[in-house]
Amino acid sequence: MEILIGTTAENKQIVLKNYIHGSPLETDLELKHGNQIKLEAPKGSNCVLMKNYYLSCDPYMRGRMQDFQRSYVPPFSPGSAIEGFGVSKVVDSDDPNFKRGDFVAGITNWEEYTLIHKTHQLRKIQKDDEIPISYHVGLLGMPGFTAYAGFYEVCEPKKGDYVYVSAASGAVGQLVGQLARLHGCYVVGSAGTSQKVELLKNRLGFNEAFNYKDEIDLEAALARYFPQGIDIYFDNVGGAMLDAALGNMRAHGRVAICGMVSQKSRTDTQTFRNMFAVISKRITIKGFLQSDFIDLYPRFLEDVTSYYKQGKIVYLEDIIDGLENAPAAFVRLFSGKNVGKQVIRLASE
């Protein structure tokens, strides 16, 4: 439908109702009707008005749903549209770097239209028939970049390394595993359903995969998959899995602490049984934020686009349609229902 610049429209939004404790529930977020927006980028504002096409569900957003600082990003404001990564189309622009019809990726709000003031954080997408634009919140967006920077810059991989990835079929994990295979490593992934295990082995090219929920003893399970030990553990989950991996590391192993999705809703403290291995095996444990490596983004885009176009990697997305279904889509991350990168589609090209 043609958008008439200067007219006013209803702008439905997803808002956080109140700060939460524990696991996020669908009912913690709600669809708010009635908000009006003027469809224009006011002259002299340097703003861009965008129509949002894809919104990204990311585990770090759980940290923004609480009012105390355990996260590395500030909390959301209850009652206002929450923000996150998205792919959007420029409807009107007062910034000479963007024009009507451009597709952009960057931080937006969970609503139909967003007026962006901080236009410097938008990245113009070069449209490409071989690459779905939704990949700019997944494979070519923040999660893909996390996998790339985390694997190459933090894990210090070598050909022949034994690599273990948790939450391996997710937005980050699936790319870590594939990059490790391309690097000549032996890769095992874990995930929480038999369907994901099949995908890891048969679509994503992992050497082996297992369902961690079927295992009573995680440390024994890892010993079965890595009889010779683990050189690199790319940790997406933390908690008991991190402890089990520490108990299976080889001498001089590297552990990249990417995320702790199993701990996001916990307030108690976790006890580690295998920390002594850090000394006896001289293990390096390093936490990182993808933003630490932002200068590598152009190289990442070039490399990963090229791998994808050459058929060296694939990418799994889990797309849910409609802003009204955004709360349900978001909580799937914490029950493990998402199969691949969880995305919400508001509009199609």
- For position 86 contacting ligand NAP by CB under 6 A, the verdict is no
- Nearest approach in angstroms of CB 205 to ligand NAP is 17
Interface residues for ligand NAP in 24-63 (CB under 6 A)? Answer: 58-60
**Mutual angle of helices 173-182 and 142-149, in 10-degree steps:** 40
Choice between 261 and 346, CB closer to ligand NAP: 261
- For position 137 contacting ligand NAP by CB under 6 A, the verdict is no
* φ and ψ at residue 59, rounded to 5 degrees: -55, -30
Contact segment (CB under 6 A) with ligand NAP among 46-54, 111-119, 294-302, 332-340 equals 332-340
| CA gap 110, 146 in Å, rounded | 22
Please name which of 235, 232, 176 lies closest in space to residue 204, comparing C-alpha atoms.
Answer: 176
C-alpha neighbours within 13 Å on the C-beta side of residue 8: 4
Please name which of 184, 180, 134, 115 lies closest in space to residue 317, comparing C-alpha atoms.
Answer: 134
Choice between 72 and 276, CB closer to ligand NAP: 72
User: Token pair of 191, please?
Assistant: 């995930």
- Nearest approach in angstroms of CB 339 to ligand NAP is 8
- Nearby residues of 175 by Cβ (< 8 Å), 6 or more positions away: 139, 143, 144, 147, 148, 304, 313, 315
Contact segment (CB under 6 A) with ligand NAP among 2-10, 112-120, 155-163, 258-266 equals 258-266
Q: Are 307 and 300 in contact (CB under 8 A)?
A: no
* φ and ψ at residue 3, rounded to 5 degrees: -95, 125
Choice between 113 and 225, CB closer to ligand NAP: 225
- For position 84 contacting ligand NAP by CB under 6 A, the verdict is no
What is the DSSP-derived secondary structure letter of residue 204? S
Alpha-carbon separation of residue 215 from 186, 218, 281 (angstroms): 21, 6, 25
**Identified binder of ligand NAP from the candidate list 259, 281, 315, 343, rule CB under 6 A:** 259
- For position 132 contacting ligand NAP by CB under 6 A, the verdict is no
User: What counts of helices (H) and strands (E) characterise the chain?
Assistant: 8, 17
Choice between 185 and 331, CB closer to ligand NAP: 331
Contact segment (CB under 6 A) with ligand NAP among 79-87, 170-178, 220-228, 304-312 equals 170-178
- Nearest approach in angstroms of CB 279 to ligand NAP is 25
What is the DSSP-derived secondary structure letter of residue 159? T
Choice between 16 and 91, CB closer to ligand NAP: 16
User: Token pair of 1, please?
Assistant: 């439908």
Interface residues for ligand NAP in 265-304 (CB under 6 A)? Answer: 288-290
- Nearby residues of 41 by Cβ (< 8 Å), 6 or more positions away: 47, 48, 49, 92, 93, 94, 95, 115
Contact segment (CB under 6 A) with ligand NAP among 83-91, 93-101, 323-331, 336-344 equals 336-344
Interface residues for ligand NAP in 177-236 (CB under 6 A)? Answer: 191-193, 196, 236
- For position 66 contacting ligand NAP by CB under 6 A, the verdict is no
| Residues at the interface with ligand NAP (CB under 6 A) | 58-60, 143, 146, 167, 170-173, 191-193, 196, 236-237, 258-262, 288-290, 333-334, 336, 338, 341-342
